């Protein structure tokens, strides 16, 4: 099974400052079809998760361009260029390359 | 717009059974694989099960294998999760989701299952 490891688990950030979350997988996430099924999800307090980024770096419709994803193989990063108050919540990386699918532990983003 | 609405949650005793439903609308349900994902209170997300668009392939997490079964009825645009031999550690909000691989990834609002005597 693929284990997803995120860091940090908690990230206090000043509004307007950047934030970065790292996600590492225990195996390569490159699928036999050539795609890498690594996504980032945001879960605001009291809400279900919602997709931010799919296939490493593609922003979901309506996601602000201050969110960006990068990486390859086993190492991935989510960056927020300028954190805003509405970005508070928990961020998860998720791999859907192999069954069982799996999530990182989550990174709690809060405003200082 | 895409909607996924879960139902069937509630309080059940250890060892009991429950069937969750998830009704999809706003998309061609019969052409998408569907997932169940759960979240224990205050915890992270755990993938539970997947069923292919035509129901021919199913996968379950080891933690639920032999106790939970995913199924679907494309004539009703509904995916199910039959949960048997429930344990306290199955207490969670259960979400259904579509397309965990790509840009058509949507989640329902979830239904709460509480296993307690």
Mean pLDDT over residues A22-51, rounded? 97
Phi and psi at residue A60, in whole multiples of 5°?
Answer: -70, 155
Structure confidence by residue, pLDDT tens digits, A41-91: 999 999 999 999 999 999 999 999 999 999 999 999 999 999 999 999 999
Asked if B62 lies within 8 A of A61 by C-beta distance, the reply is no
Structure confidence by residue, pLDDT tens digits, A77-105: 999 999 999 999 999 999 999 999 999 99
Q: What is the pLDDT of residue B110?
A: 98
Nearest neighbour of A37 by CB, restricted to B37, B59, B101: B101
Length of chain A: 112
Kindly list the distances between the CA atom of residue B73 and the CA atoms of A49, A91, B51, in Å, as whole numbers in the listed order.
25, 33, 11
Give how far A18 is from chain B: nearest CA, Å. Answer: 24
Mean pLDDT over residues B87-116, rounded? 96
Give how far A90 is from chain B: nearest CA, Å. Answer: 9
Nearest neighbour of A48 by CB, restricted to B46, B103, B108: B108
Band of residue A7 on the pLDDT scale cut at 50, 70, 90: very high
Structure confidence by residue, pLDDT tens digits, B8-63: 999 999 999 999 999 999 999 999 999 999 999 999 999 999 999 999 999 999 99
Token representation of residue B89: 């550690």
Asked if A104 lies within 8 A of B44 by C-beta distance, the reply is yes
Q: Are B21 and A76 in contact (CB under 8 A)?
A: no
Q: Would you call B102 an interface residue with chain A, using a CB distance cutoff of 8 Å?
A: yes
Band of residue B97 on the pLDDT scale cut at 50, 70, 90: very high
Asked if A99 lies within 8 A of B101 by C-beta distance, the reply is no
Give how far B70 is from chain A: nearest CA, Å. Answer: 14
Mean pLDDT over residues B93-109, rounded? 94
Spacing of C-alpha A47 from chain mean position: 17
Q: What is the pLDDT of residue A45?
A: 94
The set of residues, in sequence order, having a beta carbon less than 8 Å from that of B107 and lying 6+ positions away, is A48, A49, A50, B4, B37, B95, B96, B97
Asked if B47 lies within 8 A of A101 by C-beta distance, the reply is yes
Q: What is the pLDDT of residue B103?
A: 87
Q: What is the pLDDT of residue B102?
A: 87
Q: What is the pLDDT of residue A34?
A: 96
| DSSP state at residue A67 | E
């Amino acid at each position: 099974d693929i284990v997803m490891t995120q860091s940090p688990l908690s990230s206090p950030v000043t509004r307007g400052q950047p934030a970065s979350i790292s996600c590492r997988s225990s195996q390569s996430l490159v699928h036999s079809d050539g795609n890498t099924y690594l996504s980032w999800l945001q879960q605001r307090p009291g809400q279900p998760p919602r997709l931010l980024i799919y296939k490493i770096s593609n922003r979901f419709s309506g996601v602000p361009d201050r969110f960006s994803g990068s990486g390859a193989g086993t190492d991935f990063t989510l960056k927020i260029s300028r954190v805003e108050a509405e970005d508070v919540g928990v961020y998860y990386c998720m791999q859907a390359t192999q069954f069982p699918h799996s999530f990182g532990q989550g990174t709690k983003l809060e405003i200082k | 717009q895409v909607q996924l609405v879960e139902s069937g949650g509630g309080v059940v005793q250890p060892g009991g059974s429950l069937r969750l439903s998830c009704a999809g609308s706003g998309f061609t349900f019969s052409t998408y694989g569907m997932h169940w994902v759960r979240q224990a209170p205050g915890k992270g997300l755990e993938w539970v099960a997947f069923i292919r668009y035509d129901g021919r392939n199913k996968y379950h997490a080891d933690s639920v294998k032999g106790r939970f079964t995913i199924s679907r009825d494309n004539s009703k645009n509904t995916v199910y999760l039959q949960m048997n031999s429930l344990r306290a550690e199955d207490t969670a909000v259960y979400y259904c989701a579509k397309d965990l691989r790509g840009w058509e990834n949507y989640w329902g609002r979830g239904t709460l299952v509480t296993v307690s005597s």
